[in-house]
Structures are given as structure tokens and as C-alpha cells.
Amino acid sequence: MNRKKKYKRLSLEQRVKLVIEMNKREKSSAIQAASKLRVSRQTIYNEIKNYSVDGDVPNGRTGIECVDSHNCPRNQGQRSCFNTQCESYIEAVCPRLSSFPFVCNKCERNSSMCKYRKRYYNPIESDQEARELRKTARQMDFCEDETCAIIDEFISPMIMDNRVSLHHAYETHKEKLNVCERSVRRRIEKGGTQAKPHHLPSWLAYQRVKAIKPTRTHAKNYEILDNRMYCDYLEFIADNPEKRVVQLDSVIGKSNDKYALMTIHHVETHFMFGFMYRKGSAYSFLNRIKALRETLGDDDFYLIFDCLLTDNGSETAKLHEIEATEDGECRANVFYTNPNSSYQKGAIEKNHEYVRRILPRGSSLNNVTDRFLRNMFSHINSIFRESIQNKTPYAAFEKLYGVDILRKLGITKIEPEKVNLYSAKFYS
């Protein structure tokens, strides 16, 4: 007996692959996309229908032409009608939107040629909207909840008037309640009762301030993410456990700075170094890496940069070009983390605490020189780390790759009693 296929929830990786299939236009179809994502065609249709968004009116146009513009008797002989106030006005829709991919992603018609309203699908925004929908769908409506009425009758007065703890009030009247203490606390925290969260004695001590995630510019060329996403990285490391991972990230100073600090972290040894680049520029970021390849030579460079993990930002959009040498030989693997998922490269984020001791948040990075960075990272790499058997990152890196590479990087050994993370020292 054939079972009806259930709707399958798409992951961020699947949504990115769906966009890659959309961008192929005539070379792809809903059947091919469903086969690649291992879902049903109905899942593809539902995804595009639910999460695609309309764009603005094309540039240089006052509106969208009516679908009956040439046949309408009210048109009075005009070639096009844009009267949106007309009772018979129906906005014309591009005929291409009636077939896969149902959106304008990678359409060969530019804004000046197209006279219809655009429609787009963004995998990152769609994934965030789907997550938010799943979160709000689970929220309980307390308007007709009988438990809240019981809590207001017995628990709320004790908390508000007697200033006792929730646990004490719950233990006093738990026979009258049909839920656990955690359920009572959840209803209070969600505002479903007369007693509010600030009435709880321990609320001020345990309240959490929700961090606002900064807005980032994501890479728009989704084709480069094919086989380079974080799930692909996990599979690659599982199949190649001998690979040594290098993580890349950026340290930002003031918002109006022209430059930012690129940090490079060797995960196994905790060794870190970095360079300044023009903030937000993918070419500047890539050229810094290419200059490092020329300094080290291809053999030493790809010995270290065998597997790279970085975030999916505007400055790393061209980093995949270093996978191959100038002769076209592929010798490295570049992978990208998911948006707003810094925990996926937690090693370099953890090591940034040493950088922030010298370059605190909010300090300008425009005047930071290469000499400053070499001196700073020499001191950072000379600190003993318990996680690598009380060795220094310098010693662990030297044991793996030798002292010649350290000389090329400009990192020197600092004696333990001379290690100093006072920022003013490095400007001298």
C-alpha cells in the first residue's frame, strides 16, 4: 500500500541547495530539486509559496500595468493603464512565475527590461522566518486556560501580597493544581496570570538579557556554498580525521573604521596570527591570503591551510579561490558556517579573548600596523595553555611545522616572565 508522503521540514542547507537549483533556471525542474533535496515535489512547492516575497515596482515605473490594459473600455485608447484605483484593475503577473522556479532569482531580464513585479526567495531569511513560525506556534493562549484561573486564586496572592517564593506557594496548594511547578512558573513568565515575573523574589537575580544579533551581510552567491556548508564540513572531518583545521574570523573595531583584523587560528595547537584588511572587502581579504601564500610558498601554505572553516560573510565570498594553486591543482578545502552561528567555530572565538585584552571592544583599528600585530601575536602565542598539556601555542606549532614557518610569519618566542598583554607596550 502506498503511503502518503508527509511534509518534511527543510533545513538551512537544503534551502541553499534549493536556491542553487533555482538559479539554473531552464536546466532544472521541481522534480530535480526534490530529488536532490530528498523531499517530495509538494514540499518544494509549499516552501516557495510560503516563503517567497514580492519585490518593489521596477525602476523607472510608476506601477504595474493592468492585465486588461488593452481591452478595457475605460482605457480610452491608451496603450498601457496603471490606474490602481480602477474597480476592474488587476495587476499583471509575469508568465514565467507560473512554472518552476516560480521566482525571479537569476532571471536574465534585468530591472529595466522587466515590467512586472519581482518575486524572490532568500534561503537565509526563509530559514529564520520558519524558525520564528515554529516558535510562535508553540506559544500557549492563556485567555481560556483554567489552570491560570486556579493559579490566580491560590498562588498569585501569596506571591504578590506575602512576597513568598513560588516553590513555597506551590507546595502549599499543590493538591489543588493539576500541573507541575515548572508549568506554573512558565505561565507566570509568559504573563498569563495576575502575578508577573517581577513579583518573583529571585527574578532580578536570574533574569537574562537577550542579546540582539548584529545584522550581517550574507554572501549572495549561493553557488559557492554548494558542498561547502557546515554539514559538509562535518562529513569531511568524519571521513578525514587526520585533517588539521584552520579557522578564520574577523575582529572589528569602531563602526566607522576602514580596516578590520583578520585572525587565523590553528585549532590543534591554538596558534593564532593575523593581518589587517579593508573592512567588508572580499578582494582585500583574499589578497591578504594570497600574499601569505607567496610568503610561505605553496608547499608550506597548503601544509597549514589544508582545511579552512570561516563564516559566511561578504568579506569571505571569494575565499574559495585559494582551494586550487595557480596550476589548477586542488589542495585545500574551504567550508562556511551557518549564519549567526559563531559556536560552530568556537575555538577561534574563545581565543579572541586574548586579542580583546590588547584591543578592547570599541577601540579603533585604523592605526594598527603589521609590526604591532606580529608583536601582539608573539605574546599571545607564548601563554601556557592547559588545553594543550600546559604548552604554549608557539611550542606546539613549532613541533608540527618547524621554526622556519614561524620566521616567515614573523612570530617569535617570548620568555614566560616577559609575556605582557598590556596594549600600550606594542605601540612602542
For residues 317-340, give the mean pLDDT: 90
| pLDDT value at residue 421 | 84
Residue 161 has pLDDT above 70, yes or no: yes
Structural domains of the chain, ranges and CATH numbers in brackets: 12-68+79-135 (no CATH), 146-206 (no CATH), 224-427 (3.30.420.10)
Per-residue confidence band for 375, with pLDDT thresholds at 50, 70 and 90: very high
- Range of lowest pLDDT (138-142, 234-238, 242-246, 308-312): 138-142
For residues 380-403, give the mean pLDDT: 94
Question: pLDDT tens, 198-255?
Answer: 888 877 666 555 544 444 444 567 888 888 999 999 999 999 999 999 999 999 999 8
Residues with Cβ within 8 Å of 408's Cβ and at least 6 positions away in sequence, in order, are: 295, 296, 300
Residue 144 has pLDDT above 80, yes or no: no
Higher-scoring residue by pLDDT: 149, 139? 149
CA distances for 395 relative to 67, 264, 270, 378, angstroms? 73, 17, 10, 11
| pLDDT value at residue 1 | 46
Closest listed residue to residue 307, CA positions, set 271, 264, 349? 264
Count of C-beta atoms within a 10 Å radius of residue 132: 10
| pLDDT value at residue 59 | 64
Residue 3 has pLDDT above 60, yes or no: no
Question: pLDDT tens, 177-190?
Answer: 989 999 999 889 88
| pLDDT value at residue 208 | 57
Q: Say what percent of the chain tops pLDDT 70.
A: 90
Q: Is the pTM of this model over 0.85?
A: no
Name the amino acid, one letter, at 76: Q
